[in-house]
Amino acid sequence: MLAAAAETPGKNAGSPFRGPGLWARAAPFAVVAVLAEASLALPSGHEPGAAVLASALLLLLAAAGFLLPWPRLPGWMPVLVPLTYTASVLALDLAAGSSSGVGIVILIPLVWTALFHRRWESVCVVAAIVATEVIVSLTPVAVPAAVTVRRAIFWTALGAMISIATHGLRDRIRRSRKRSEQLQSRLRELTVLAERDRIATDLRDTVI
């Protein structure tokens, strides 16, 4: 996955949703997302209704985003896919309740953008996650204001930490690949020079 991330610098609009190994990259995220939706069927005391339907529809909408003709779309549009899933998690959390623990799946769009998108897209997703946590904290089963502020601070710090660390790792992988290519190029040059010296020596010996 990290190798794929290193090869996906986000220079074109379709890069996060195209290329070899796409389904292998997306499958773990999809499995967790589907399991989170399926957890609403457990006897957890959630209230089914509009929030459940909205969460499922937004999840399907995010999945459909993988089928769009990204190379023909504006370069800023890929960020809409993780943002759509973030909205799905908001509806999911409102349906299951803030104490259900299902809200942890909101890390899915954060990790996805950190691995396969550009930095400004990660910033957008972090902001959406913080907004989601604030909205969930202000639902009718509200917690004290201090808890809401603490949640916002912690989720902001966690989101920034994951994004910065992953983007830094991607940069280091790219730099390592570039250095490796430079070393290989230098090795080829040295090999050519050594071969020329050998040929020159053979010719000189032959003439002598």
Q: pLDDT (tens digit, 9 = 90+) per residue, 162-187?
A: 777 777 778 878 888 888 988 898 88
Q: Which of 170, 171, 147, 167 is nearest to 159 (CA)?
A: 167
pLDDT value of residue 13: 40
pLDDT mean over 151-167: 71
Mean pLDDT of 196-206: 85
Residue 36: both structure tokens together: 């989170």
Residue 128 has pLDDT above 90, yes or no: yes
Q: What is the pLDDT of residue 79?
A: 93
Tens of pLDDT, residues 6-26: 444 444 444 688 877 788 788
Instruction: Using pLDDT thresholds of 50, 70 and 90, give the confidence band for residue 81.
Output: very high
Three-state secondary structure call for residue 138: coil
Residue 21 phi/psi, 5-degree rounding, is: 75, 15
Query: Where along the chain do its domains lie?
Result: 2-181
Token pair in block for residue 162: 């994951």
- What pLDDT is attached to residue 28? 83
Report the length, in residues, of the chain.
Answer: 208
% of the chain exceeding 70 in pLDDT: 79
Q: Which of 41-45, 125-129, 136-140 shows the lowest mean pLDDT across its residues?
A: 41-45
CA neighbor of 78 nearest in space, from 13, 7, 28, 9: 13
Enumerate residues 6+ apart whose C-beta is below 8 A from 24. none
Q: N- to C-terminal Cα distance for the chain?
A: 59
- State whether residue 146 is helix, strand or coil: helix
Q: 183 or 160: which carries more pLDDT confidence?
A: 183
Q: What is the pLDDT of residues 34-48, one digit of tens each?
A: 888 887 776 654 555
pLDDT at 121: 93
Q: Choose between 15 and 66: higher pLDDT.
A: 66
- d(CA 21, CA 33) in angstroms, rounded, equals 19
Percent of the chain with pLDDT over 90: 17
Mean pLDDT of 49-63: 91
Q: How far apart are CA 144 and CA 90, in angstroms?
A: 20
- Confidence band of 148 (pLDDT split at 50, 70, 90): low
Helices within the chain (DSSP H only): 2-6, 22-38, 50-64, 80-96, 107-116, 119-137, 145-207
Q: How far apart are CA 83 and CA 81, in angstroms?
A: 5
**Is the Cβ–Cβ distance between 173 and 135 less than 8 Å?**
no
Instruction: Tell me which of 73 and 137 has the higher pLDDT.
Output: 73
**CB–CB of 126/152 below 8 Å?**
no
Give me the helix-helix angle, 22-38 and 107-116, nearest 10°: 170
